[in-house]
Chain A
Amino acid sequence: MSATGVRAAVTGLGVVAPNGLGTETYWTATRKGISGIGRITRFVPDQYPAQLAGEIDGFDAAEHLPGRLLPQTDRMTQLALVAADWAFQDAAVRPEDLPGFEMGVITASSSGGFAFGQRELQALWSKGSRYVSAYQSFAWFYAVNSGQISIRNGMRGPSGVVVSDQAGGLDAIAQARRQLRKGTRLVMAGAVDASICPWGWVAQMASNRLSVGRDPERAYLPFDDAAAGHVPGEGGALLVMEDLEQARARGARIYGEVAGYGATLDPRPGSGRPPGLRKAVELALADAGASPGDIDVVFADAAALPDLDRIETETITAVFGARAVPVTAPKTMTGRLYSGAAPLDLAAAFLAMRDEVIPPSVGVTPSPGHDLDLVVDRERPAPVRSALVLARGHGGFNSAAVVRAV
């Protein structure tokens, strides 16, 4: 519970994911174990070692957004604007009915608008500066999703962007909760990342964390002996967050609350000190006033690299005990969405509470070396009152969030 007594309710979800555009489409596919990972179609991937991605198919921005916005927005912003629209609809909130200064927007971003930026940089070096779009001034920028959502919906309250790779998706939710506690009435929070273009691709390759597998069903295998990196994806989720009491007062449908959060940074390599993920989990549980036994499912970060998987398994077994809590990674169906991953996992956690079912991880044969109760291939019926979502970002960021039913 917060010091101020304000609890952060989630009242609306907007999902754009490789295995489903729209919350219910995504959720239906996820429960059935249907993956959105495949060979890259956005560009010809032949010359790159990594050739698989979780791409969103069938998204036509012009169907959803005003013509004035199309030339000035990258794909990630178009997806984010639509996800925000859907989240508002889901929350039964019309932003034009609320005072602008009482609504904020806090998103996370890991790379900005790479496809837009690549096109304009190519214009710069092939034709000259006069050929660069004036909109490049902001369309590539980390904060652009927050800015465009703010402008489109007249949201003038506390707003910003968090940049901490995959962990940022939870850090943005935590920042939104801080703003609710300070008196902001509603915050649109979460993240949508999309950088499946050659420039974005080589930037991701530099991490040495990408899977070079060619078989979409065997390329992204966290907690598997064959784990050898992740498949990148695009998309994410935006969540309408409100002060719980105000949400109840307006009769809102409430998915649950963001009850706890913890974040740490790993020690520098070679320091001999332990990684920070366990501490982040303990901080999140303490913040929620929860004990490990209260948690019904863990949504894993699922790096699919042996060392990082081992750290995550050790963390979960140290806090909960061996095979003591169901663990899942539905991101095996979308690829890692960078900042978008954790908000999508939060959406899945709230839907798991609603439908009393834990969505599966797909394709994974759990390694005997990982003493986890991993939910694989088929959904598992189970009452879910409380969930822990983990997200780690490149560079040592660890974040954990506890969500629960209210």
Chain B
Amino acid sequence: MPAHEFTLEDLKRILREGAGADEGVDLDGDILDTDFGSLGYESLALLETGGRIEREFGITLDDETLTDAATPRSLLEAVNALLVPAEVG
């Protein structure tokens, strides 16, 4: 088990706190595979979001992690990969 997990709820909270939310987008809908651009977030919003994830979860994200993660699902996977401790055995 990871020490803690980065969930979609965490991501939505951090997006709202750091970058706000587009009135035309329902973040509580099925957004896992929707492009961040379609959700109203440009690169600077993702930079701010990445900084907040790093602070809160005590990790360091590569620049590529943010630029390559086109959707919430891919960002969740990338962050959780850093949170999972090394497998034993």
- Are B20 and A130 in contact, CB atoms less than 8 angstroms apart? no
Proximity string of chain B (35-54) to chain A, C-beta cutoff 8 Å, 1 when within and 0 when not: 00000100011011001001
The answer to whether A134 touches B23 (Cβ under 8 A) is: no
CB distance A68 to B18 under 8 Å? no
* A284→B55 CA distance, assembly (Å): 56
CB distance from A128 to the nearest CB of B (A): 9
User: Chain B interface (Cβ within 8 Å of chain A)?
Assistant: 16-23, 40, 44-45, 47-48, 51, 54-55
Chain A, residue nearest B47 (CB): A134
B40 partner residues in chain A, CB cutoff 8 A: 68
Nearest residue in A to B60 (C-beta to C-beta)?
Answer: A130
Question: A69 with B48: in contact, given A130-B54, A130-B55, A131-B55 (CB under 8 Å)?
Answer: no
Is A71 within 8 A of B20, CB to CB? yes
For residue A298, give the distance in angstroms from its CB to the closest CB of chain B.
44
- Within 8 Å CB of B20, what residues of A? 66-72
- Is there contact, CB below 8 Å, between A135 and B48? yes
Distance of A72 Cα from B22 Cα, bound (Å): 13
* In the complex, A137 has a CB within 8 A of chain B: yes
In the docked arrangement, what's the CA distance between A70 and B40, Å? 14
A-B pair number, CB within 8 angstroms: 38
Docked pose: A17 CA to B19 CA in angstroms: 28
Contact B21 A68 (CB under 8 A): yes
The answer to whether B22 touches A68, judged by C-beta atoms less than 8 angstroms apart, is yes
Give a binary string over A70-94; 1 marks a CB under 8 Å from any B CB, 0 the rest: 1110000000000000000000000
**Complex Cα spacing A135 to B47, Å:** 9
Extra inter-chain contacts (19) besides given A66-B22, A72-B20, CB under 8 Å:
A67-B16, A67-B21, A67-B22, A67-B23, A68-B19, A68-B20, A68-B21, A68-B22, A69-B20, A71-B17, A71-B18, A71-B48, A72-B19, A130-B54, A131-B55, A134-B47, A135-B44, A135-B48, A137-B44
Q: How far is the CA of A232 from the CA of B4 in the complex (A)?
A: 50
Q: Which residues of A contact B21 (CB under 8 A)?
A: 67-68
A residues in contact (CB < 8 Å) with B: 66-72, 130-131, 133-135, 137
Q: Which residue of B lies closest to A133 (CB)?
A: B48
Q: Is the CB of B55 within 8 A of A134?
A: no
When distances are taken between beta carbons in the complex, the residues of chain B under 8 Å from A66 are: 20, 22-23
Bound Cα distance A130, B58 (Å):
11
- Give chain A residues whose Cβ lies under 8 Å from the Cβ of B54: 130
- How many angstroms between the C-alpha atoms of A133 and B47 in the bound complex? 9
Could you say which residues of chain A place their CB within 8 Å of the CB of B23? 66-67
Residue of A nearest to B54 (CB): A130
A134 cross-chain contacts in B, Cβ below 8 A: 44-45, 47-48, 51
Q: Which of A130, A133, A134, A135 has the most CB of B within 10 A?
A: A134
Measured CB to CB, the nearest residue on chain A to B17 is A71
Which residues of chain A are within 8 angstroms of B19 by Cβ–Cβ distance? 68, 71-72
Min distance, Cβ B8 to any Cβ of chain A, angstroms: 19
22 A-B residue pairs with CB within 8 Å: A66-B23, A67-B20, A67-B21, A67-B22, A67-B23, A68-B19, A68-B20, A68-B45, A71-B18, A71-B48, A72-B20, A72-B44, A130-B51, A130-B54, A130-B55, A133-B18, A134-B44, A134-B47, A134-B48, A134-B51, A135-B44, A137-B44
For A128, the closest partner residue in chain B by CB is B55
Most buried by A among B16, B18, B20: B20
Q: Which residues of B contact A67 (CB under 8 A)?
A: 16, 20-23
Q: Which 8 A-B pairs have the closest CB atoms?
A: A134-B48, A67-B20, A134-B47, A68-B20, A67-B21, A71-B20, A70-B20, A68-B22
| CA distance in complex: A135, B48 (Å) | 8
Residues in B with CB closer than 8 Å to A135 are: 44, 48
How many angstroms between the C-alpha atoms of A185 and B23 in the bound complex?
Answer: 31
B residues in contact with A131, CB < 8 Å: 55
Which B residues lie within 8 Å of A137 (CB)?
44
Closest Cβ of chain A: how far from B31's Cβ, in Å?
15
Bound: A71/B51 CA distance, A: 14
Residues of A within 8 A of B51 (CB): 130, 134
Q: In the complex, what distance in Å separates the CA atom of A134 from the CA atom of B44?
A: 7
CB distance from A140 to the nearest CB of B (A): 14
